[in-house]
Amino acid sequence: MTPRVAPLLALAAVVLVLPRLVFDSADFALLSLAVVYAIVGLSLNVLIGYAGTISLGHQAFVGIGAFTSAYVVTELRQPFIVGVLAAAALGGAQAMILGGLALRVTGLYFALVTLSYGVFAQDTLFGIKAITGGGAGRAAPTPTGDGNFVPYYYICLAFLGLVLWLDWRMMRSKTGRALTALRQDPRVAASLGIPVKAYLLLGFAVSGVFAGIAGALFAHGNGFVVSNDFSLQLGILFVLMTVVGGLRSRTGIVVSAALTAVVPLIIREIPGLESALARPERTVPVVVLVAGLVAVGVGVLRGGRAAQVVGVAMVALSAAVLSPLHVPGVEPQLEQLPALDPSMLRLIVLPALVVMTLRTAPGGLGQQLRPVVRWVCGGRFSLDAGPGDLREVVDARA
Amino acid sequence: MPVLEADGISVRFGGVQAVRDVSVHVGEWEVVGIIGPNGAGKTTLFNVLTGFQRPNTGRVRFEGDDITGEPVHRRAALGMGRTFQNVGLVKAATVLDNLLTAQHMAVGYGAVAGIVGSSLAFERERAVRDEAARLLELLGLLPVADLVAGRLPYGLRKQVELATVLATHPKVLLLDEPTSGMGPEEAEAFGERLLALRRELGLSVLMIEHHVPLVAAVCDYVYCMNFGELLVEGKPDDVRSHPEVVRAYLGDEAA
Amino acid sequence: MTAQALVIGIITGAAYGLVALGLVLVYKSSGVLNFAQGEFGTVAVYALWLGTTHGIPYVLAVLIALGVAAVFGFVTERVVVRPLADAPRVTVLVATAGVALLAVGLELWIGQAQIRPIAPALRRQDRLRILNVYISDQRLLIILTVVVVALVLRWVFTRTFLGLAVLAASEEPTGTRLMGVRVERLSSAVWVLAALLGGVAGVLTGPLSGFGPGFLTSSALVAGFTAAVIGGFTSLPGAFLGGVVVGVIQSLATSASWLADVPGPQTAALFVLLVVILLARPQGILGRAS
Ligand SMILES: Nc1ncnc2c1ncn2[C@@H]1O[C@H](COP(=O)(O)OP(=O)(O)OP(=O)(O)O)[C@@H](O)[C@H]1O
Ligand SMILES: [Mg+2]
């Protein structure tokens, strides 16, 4: 079966043309960030999805790319593209060093190493004044001119296309098969002649290269990089968006990462949502009401008494608050709640989604999208690289 | 010259002496069997031969070269192909993909060339696919080519595993209980297929096997292990009737 | 000089030990690395802050804060951990990281992105002075608490039915269930206990230098994990000792003149320490090889 041309053209239009029609040029900063996040997600996917190790320090991978490119462009006065290439190279190199550790330290302990590495990078590596400007940060001019994000968005898209191409080719070549084999059973892989350690390192390198590119694009989209951009929170956010997207599903990861980045835009585009967030004293009871109803429903379906009791209490309380009745003690407290910043919302929504994903659909968004993708691509080049869940991660090598 | 040869191999796991001073050798074109009750150390010996387990003492030689310190994948490259007692497959991949994976050493392009998608890589991939199809055809596995390997019935999984090992172009096959889970007739058929493969591909075989009739039918030479030591070795019929072997097996069954 | 660093290290290390105890407790009983342990504590400090700013007496506010932490732990176990009981441990790890991020989001909302001061339980700063280092009463309280908690937990795990049942359940869930123990209840109990420990850590250390969103995660989670690794991840007194080791090494790194030009010497020391330990002795210093 050949790919269906019409849907593919429609997809291209959505990505290439639609933003021009819907969004202001100022919004393209966030759209560029969406593309950057998509690349970060693909980078994490190489490690978690393909190589079967975990990284909770991916913000460091990205940050190293960001500072490298900023340094090369502002300090060494090289063009933007040289900055990106340097970021990719250094990103790959540092990832291989970490990969060297992964050869010795496996399983959950390696997760701890990456956690510590991320924090170490933020505090120590990104504090080296000569390169990163210390706490003050470093300028990273946008190649398309200050504040001119529309063309920059297309540059980012081009890099996303490159990363997708490399990822696709990798998984369709011997490297992809080697990674799959070593993830699932390193003993079988080795006995088929695959040098397991070398390919694990290669996986790290590829992931680092992708992350380095993402970091450079992040830096120049921001105009400025400071070490505080790369906190542990960001690292966790990266892992969550990748898992929600669905490991080994390129489509799911790109969509999930992009959506994570553009949460503020989505909120703005949904009528009434922004003002609802600004008035939490009305919104919170509504959310509690809905959550309570869900809890009651789940409790009834699964026979959980505790869920029913808690649900009924939530419904009753929030109904009382919403009604003209006055609930002493609760309403004045609600009045004092600060407005909910749209960008904070992703810290709340994404974890909720991740728990849902892990509990009910380990394949993530990618699994939901798979029939559509298969229909569009006609199975000729699948956009995905196999079914995704966390099952084989780390434990396989622990 | 023997193809594969092990000299005075010993392996200790903490307090357990899994293998003690065992020597085996497999000549060109030979089919050699290893028998012995459960826990005798047969699989451990295989692990030493294939490089998964470093022996405490002893040396392993392949075609005369000392390979005792070589890693597993290097031995595979030299021509050692191995199956696993619990079936070694990439379980989530399709049968076809397993065969592609197994041709890792033969693809003939570099990892980077594959990632950037060089035209050589595209070309070679096509050749690798053809070879996989040829092997599947040879072993009658073409109908299951697109099924996920881990979901096949046990017997089929073992056949697919054998196909993947053959795809690495081995000179010597090490089979760990290839007929487990098979009935006597299937085992006999397997023996015939093994002899045919040896003829066609010029293989030497070392196999751990519990089916005594099969061992008697196909093996040129047999080693019997018990409690980590070599009990008896010799022609199948001699080993089979050896009083020590009978005692080891009966003792094992009585226990 | 070194002796001084030692004193400072022990003081700060005690707080790490408190976090490590919670981590070890959960790991011992379910094999899970709990990335939400720090946030159990941060949530408690926020509750304490809300309580005291609303005029609730300090002691009562502390109790409420611990209650909030306990509820958080209970809900985490019920909604996140228990449904994933059969999932790989790394899945649960990712889920707990999600819980931590959720807590940070809520804290950011309730308290905004600000570092806030909060009153300590004990105010006196200069009662005790060792080697020119003043040790505030709050610090003494922390040290005392961590020692007591470690010993009590050790007693629970070696002498009481609850502790032995938890250990048995972690090794042989089916067998333990057959013996009439309700394994699910045990899991709840462990997580509530861990959350309480986190809450204690938060309530005690929050006042030391103020708190903000995710404060205990950023100030003590990595150190706590490192301390737990040093303790072999199963030894409760080991977790406390590990905390002290981490604290001492960090304070040595901060005061070492040859590290004066290294930014973030504490974090760097932590990373190097973790890597060296895992390379040299993967089972930890006090842990037994499994
Ligand atoms: N990695 C290991 N660590 C500790 N002991 C081991 C290990 N591998 C094997 N053993 C022990 O070594 C002995 C030999 O085991 P081995 O698997 O080689 O036996 P076997 O002959 O293959 O038995 P079977 O017929 O059951 O496959 C057994 O007592 C086993 O428990
Ligand atoms: Mg065996």
* Residue A397 confidence (pLDDT): 40
Q: Is B119 in the pocket of ligand 1 (CB under 6 A)?
A: no
* Residue A68 confidence (pLDDT): 96
pLDDT confidence bin for A1, thresholds 50/70/90: low
Q: How far apart are the C-alpha atoms of B127 and C221, rounded to whole Å?
A: 52
Do the chains A and B touch each other, judged by at least 3 C-beta pairs below 8 angstroms?
yes
Query: Does residue B4 carry a pLDDT above 60?
Result: yes
* A3 token code pair: 């790919």
Interchain CB distance below 8 Å, A184 and B101: no
Query: Does residue A47 carry a pLDDT above 80?
Result: yes
* C267 token code pair: 């974090």
Assign a CATH topology to domain B4-79+170-250.
Rossmann fold (3.40.50)
- E strand or H helix that includes residue A279: none
* B7 token code pair: 């000299």
pTM, two decimal places: 0.92
pLDDT confidence bin for B24, thresholds 50/70/90: very high
Q: How far apart are the C-alpha atoms of C141 and C131, rounded to whole Å?
A: 19
| Strand pairing class (B16-27; B2-13) | antiparallel
Residue range C225-276, pLDDT digits in tens = 999 998 888 888 888 889 999 999 998 888 887 877 888 888 999 999 999 9
Q: How far apart are the C-alpha atoms of A257 and A262, rounded to whole Å?
A: 9
* Residue A396 confidence (pLDDT): 37
From C178's Cα to the closest Cα of chain A, the distance in A is: 23
Q: Which of A150-154, A293-297, A343-347 has the highest mean pLDDT?
A: A150-154
Interchain CB distance below 8 Å, A354 and C94: yes
Residue range A199-208, pLDDT digits in tens = 999 999 999 9
Share of chain A above pLDDT 70, in %: 94
Rounded mean pLDDT, C151-161: 84
Interface membership of A344 toward C (CB under 8 Å): yes
The Å distance, Cα B17 to ligand 1 centre, comes to: 10
User: Would you kindly state where each structural domain of chain A is located, as residue ranges?
Assistant: 5-269, 280-338
* C284 token code pair: 């930890």
Cross-chain CB nearest to A174 (options B51, B77, B107): B107
Interface membership of A173 toward B (CB under 8 Å): yes
Pick the residue whose CA is nearest to atom 1 on ligand 1: B13
Query: Does residue A388 carry a pLDDT above 60?
Result: no
pLDDT confidence bin for C1, thresholds 50/70/90: low
Ramachandran bin of A15, using left for φ above 0, alpha for ψ from -120 to 50, beta for the remaining angles:
alpha
Q: How far apart are the C-alpha atoms of B197 and B177, rounded to whole Å?
A: 17
* Residue C12 confidence (pLDDT): 84
SS3 B33: strand
Pick the residue whose CA is nearest to atom 26 on ligand 1: B38
From A199's Cα to the closest Cα of chain B, the distance in A is: 9
- DSSP class of residue C264? S
Rounded mean pLDDT, B12-26: 92
Please check whether residue A233 is in contact with residue C101, taking contact to mean a CB–CB distance below 8 angstroms.
Answer: yes
* B123 token code pair: 């070309």
Integer distance in angstroms from the first to the last C-alpha of chain C? 40
Contacts of B43 (CB under 8 A, 6+ apart): B85, B176, B208
Interface membership of A129 toward C (CB under 8 Å): yes
**Pocket probe mutation, ligand 1, options B11, B38, B44, max atoms within 8 Å of Cβ:** B44
Half-sphere exposure of C164 (CA within 13 A, CB side): 5
User: Shortest CA distance to A33 belongs to which of A165, A187, A184, A142?
Assistant: A142
CA distance readout (Å), C47 to A14, A35, C18, C58, C122 = 46, 38, 19, 11, 18
Query: Does residue B20 carry a pLDDT above 90?
Result: yes
Interchain CB distance below 8 Å, C94 and A239: yes
For residue B119, the tally of other CB atoms under 10 A from its CB is: 9
Cross-chain CB nearest to A347 (options C108, C222, C226): C108
* Residue A69 confidence (pLDDT): 96
Interchain CB distance below 8 Å, A193 and B76: yes
Integer distance in angstroms from the first to the last C-alpha of chain B? 41
The Å distance, Cα B85 to ligand 1 centre, comes to: 12
Residue range B34-54, pLDDT digits in tens = 998 889 999 999 999 999 999
Please check whether residue C285 is in contact with residue C246, taking contact to mean a CB–CB distance below 8 angstroms.
Answer: no
* Residue C84 confidence (pLDDT): 86
Cross-chain CB nearest to A192 (options B76, B91, B115): B76
Rounded mean pLDDT, A367-395: 63
Q: How far apart are the C-alpha atoms of A199 and A193, rounded to whole Å?
A: 12
Residue range A136-147, pLDDT digits in tens = 889 888 888 888
Higher pLDDT, C47 or A13: C47
Residue range B62-90, pLDDT digits in tens = 999 999 999 999 999 999 999 999 899 99
- Nearest-CA residue of chain A relative to C99? A351
Starting at the earlier edge strand, list the strands of the sheet with B16-27.
B16-27, B2-13, B57-62, B65-66
Interchain CB distance below 8 Å, A243 and C94: yes
Residue range B232-246, pLDDT digits in tens = 898 888 888 888 777
| Strand pairing class (B172-176; B204-208) | parallel
Interface membership of A180 toward B (CB under 8 Å): yes
Residues in chain A: 398
Interface membership of A89 toward B (CB under 8 Å): no
Chain B residues within 8 A (CB-CB) of chain A?
50-52, 71-73, 76-77, 81-82, 84, 88-93, 97, 100-102, 104-105, 107, 109, 111, 114-117, 121, 125, 164-165, 168
Share of chain C above pLDDT 90, in %: 33
* A143 token code pair: 């190649």
Per-residue burial over C4-40, b = 16 or more CB atoms within 10 Å of its CB, e = otherwise: ebbbbbbbbbbbbbbbbbbbbbbbbbbebbbbbbbbb
Residue range A239-265, pLDDT digits in tens = 999 988 888 889 899 999 999 998 888
**Pocket probe mutation, ligand 1, options B43, B50, B224, max atoms within 8 Å of Cβ:** B43
Q: Where are the strands (E) in A47-101, listed by range?
A: none
SS3 A159: helix
Per-residue burial over C181-205, b = 16 or more CB atoms within 10 Å of its CB, e = otherwise: bebeebbbbbbbbbbbbbbbbbbbb
Q: Is B39 in the pocket of ligand 1 (CB under 6 A)?
A: yes
Chain C residues in contact with A116 (beta carbon < 8 A) = 222, 225-226, 270-271, 274-275
pLDDT confidence bin for A395, thresholds 50/70/90: very low
Q: What angle is formed at CA B217 by the lines to CA B216 and CA B219, rounded to 5 degrees? A: 70
SS3 C211: strand
SS3 C68: helix
Residue range C62-108, pLDDT digits in tens = 999 999 999 999 999 988 898 888 877 778 888 999 999 999 999 98
User: What is the DSSP secondary-structure string of B43-77?
Assistant: HHHHHHHHTSS--SEEEEEETTEE-TT--HHHHHH
Interchain CB distance below 8 Å, A177 and B89: no
For residue C113, the tally of other CB atoms under 10 A from its CB is: 10
Interface membership of C57 toward A (CB under 8 Å): no
Radius of gyration over alpha carbons of chain B, in Å? 19
Q: How far apart are the C-alpha atoms of A107 and A112, rounded to whole Å?
A: 9
User: Would you kindly state where each structural domain of chain B is located, as residue ranges?
Assistant: 4-79+170-250
Query: Does residue A36 carry a pLDDT above 80?
Result: yes
Rounded mean pLDDT, C202-214: 87
Contacts of A366 (CB under 8 A, 6+ apart): A245, A246, A247, A248, A249, A250, A251, A252, A253, A384, A388
Query: Does residue A220 carry a pLDDT above 60?
Result: yes
* Residue B205 confidence (pLDDT): 95
Q: How far apart are the C-alpha atoms of B239 and B222, rounded to whole Å?
A: 7
* Residue A378 confidence (pLDDT): 65
From B117's Cα to the closest Cα of chain A, the distance in A is: 6
Region A5-269: CATH code: 1.10.3470
SS3 B204: strand
Q: Residue B30 forms beta bridges with which residues? A: none
Q: How far apart are the C-alpha atoms of C240 and A22, rounded to whole Å?
A: 57
Query: Does residue A135 carry a pLDDT above 90?
Result: no
Q: How far is CA A307 from the centre of its chain?
A: 32
Residue range C167-201, pLDDT digits in tens = 777 777 777 776 767 777 788 888 999 999 999 99
Q: How far apart are the C-alpha atoms of A164 and A39, rounded to whole Å?
A: 8
Q: Is B164 in the pocket of ligand 1 (CB under 6 A)?
A: no
From A100's Cα to the closest Cα of chain B, the distance in A is: 17
Interface membership of A359 toward C (CB under 8 Å): yes
Pick the residue whose CA is nearest to atom 29 on ligand 1: B39
